[in-house]
Amino acid sequence: MKKVSIDTWIQLLGMLSVVAGLVFVGLEMQQTQRIALANQQQARTELISNRLLTELELFGEIGPDAITSNVEWGEMTVEQRAIRQQIQRWFWALLENHFFQNEMELLSDALWSQVEGYINARYSECHLRDIYDASVSYQPLRDYISELPDVCSK
């Protein structure tokens, strides 16, 4: 049996250190990419949100009484319905962003539980389902929602 010199052990240790360093750099790059994608999604959501909220400002002339959440859909005026639809578009833009952030593992479990509740609540508003159909384009979210119980089909 041949005895291995101390130089060989040092070289082996050095090579293992380089490999470990490369693995660490790779993991850091993956995390940085996830954060960059999440930031891009956040920026898109802010643009969409600003546009939707700007359109809501046009309804500001109607007055605050027009925006009431305790009025049933059938009892709302045309203006109130338009406002409620615009608010629903805004909700879906935010929820789509939250869903993406959760996919990137950037939301806590507690926050994700709240988001799940909001998604369920928005999807359960049957009279506004067409807003969901037109607003949500992110297929993983659509797939997630397709697994939810559909209270509107009953």
Tens of pLDDT, residue by residue over 18-58, are: 999 999 888 888 888 888 877 888 887 787 777 777 777 76
The first and second tokens of residue 39, run together, are 């930031």
Q: What is the distance of C-alpha 75 from the center of its chain?
A: 32
The separation between the first and the last C-alpha atoms of the chain, rounded to the nearest angstrom, is 78
> pLDDT at residue 15 above 90?
yes
The model scores a pTM over 0.75: no
Q: Centre a 10 Å sphere on the Cβ of residue 71 and count the other Cβ atoms it contains.
A: 15
DSSP state of 3: P
Question: Which of 1-15, 16-30, 43-57, 77-91 is predicted least confidently?
Answer: 43-57
Over the stretch 106-128, which tens digit does the pLDDT of each residue have?
A: 889 999 999 999 999 999 999 99
The answer to whether the beta carbons of residues 102 and 115 sit under 8 Å apart is yes
- The C-alpha atoms of residue 134 and residue 136 are separated, in whole angstroms, by 6
- How far from 16 is each of 3, 5, 25, 50, 138, CA to CA, in Å? 21, 17, 14, 51, 42
